[in-house]
Amino acid sequence: MRIIDLSSPVDATGWEPDPIVHRIMTPAEGAVHMSEEMKLHFGLEFDPAELPGGELLSLDTLTLTSHTGTHVDAPSHYGSVGTYGTPRTIDQMPLDWFLRPAVVLDVTDVGIGTIGADRVRAELERTGHDTQPLDIVLLHTGASRFTGTQRYFTDFAGVDGPATEYLLDLGVRVIGTDAFSLDAPFGHMIREYQETGDRSVLWPAHFAGRRREYCQIERLAELDRLPPTGFRVACFPVRIKGAGAGWTRAVALLDEETV
């Protein structure tokens, strides 16, 4: 079996709308810290120089949103009320949604804007994939080439409401994208709303989750390395209690025969 990493990193040096704070306590600093804690809490004297190399263990402290890097959105992210009941948080989602056969749709030509249901249907047919309930559908928009830059948050394509409903009708419950959002860029949606007065163009992919429970994987990477179909995706979200999303190390699992 071959494993392809589909995740983008949590990288405090990259541009983020909500900047990441990543503080690293080095192993040497960890030794001093431990010595101070021992004295403070237990009255014990310990010279950190007695440790091999004068080092103990490192410690990372991060401040970041659960939507940083590759992550899975839970239904509770889309709104507090669903027509089906209370939308579930990420820790409540069934794990068997997140290890499934997958198909990748090539929509790299769209650039910036909206992908409709006809296009999604045509691309799905082009792959020859026989979509079963709970299969994972990935949208390869090409936006991940801007990962780490400000452009990643403005220049991408997302699906509209009918395209989302089309996939949900097939029984799909996890839809992934290599873009910042499964919806079109904020500016694009708001301009369209101001021109048409049609509220259904505002976050249609996310709000579809208020009618039917489903998850999105956002900020995937390396989708160009995948065959259209014939592989599985594993994207188990981190179990953050009560959260609307969880980070994931999304990977594709390819049986040797399909490579």
Binding residues for Zn ion, rule: CB under 5 A, are 67, 73, 218
Interatomic CA distance for residues 217 and 201, integer angstroms = 21
For residue 90, which of 197, 244, 251 has the smallest C-alpha distance? 244
Nearer to Zn ion, 73 or 160 (CB): 73
Please, are residues 213 and 88 in contact by the beta-carbon 8 Å criterion? Answer: yes
Please give the sequence-ordered ranges of beta strands (E in DSSP) within the chain, or none if there are none. Answer: 2-5, 21-25, 59-63, 71-73, 99-106, 113-115, 136-140, 157-159, 174-177, 215-218, 229-234, 245-247, 251-254
Q: Please report how close the Cβ of residue 72 comes to Zn ion at its closest, in angstroms.
A: 8
Interatomic CA distance for residues 203 and 205, integer angstroms = 6
- The residue number whose beta carbon is nearest to Zn ion equals 67
Nearer to Zn ion, 67 or 100 (CB): 67
Tokens for 247?
A: 């980070």
Q: Please report how close the Cβ of residue 73 comes to Zn ion at its closest, in angstroms.
A: 4
Q: Please report how close the Cβ of residue 245 comes to Zn ion at its closest, in angstroms.
A: 5
Q: Please report how close the Cβ of residue 25 comes to Zn ion at its closest, in angstroms.
A: 29
Nearer to Zn ion, 73 or 123 (CB): 73
Nearer to Zn ion, 66 or 114 (CB): 66
Phi, psi of 42 (to 5 degrees): -125, -5
Q: Please report how close the Cβ of residue 256 comes to Zn ion at its closest, in angstroms.
A: 33
Q: Please report how close the Cβ of residue 216 comes to Zn ion at its closest, in angstroms.
A: 7
Nearer to Zn ion, 56 or 220 (CB): 220
Interatomic CA distance for residues 153 and 202, integer angstroms = 17
Q: Please report how close the Cβ of residue 250 comes to Zn ion at its closest, in angstroms.
A: 13
Nearer to Zn ion, 140 or 206 (CB): 206
For residue 70, which of 245, 219, 255, 236 has the smallest C-alpha distance? 219
Interatomic CA distance for residues 233 and 1, integer angstroms = 13
Nearer to Zn ion, 35 or 76 (CB): 76
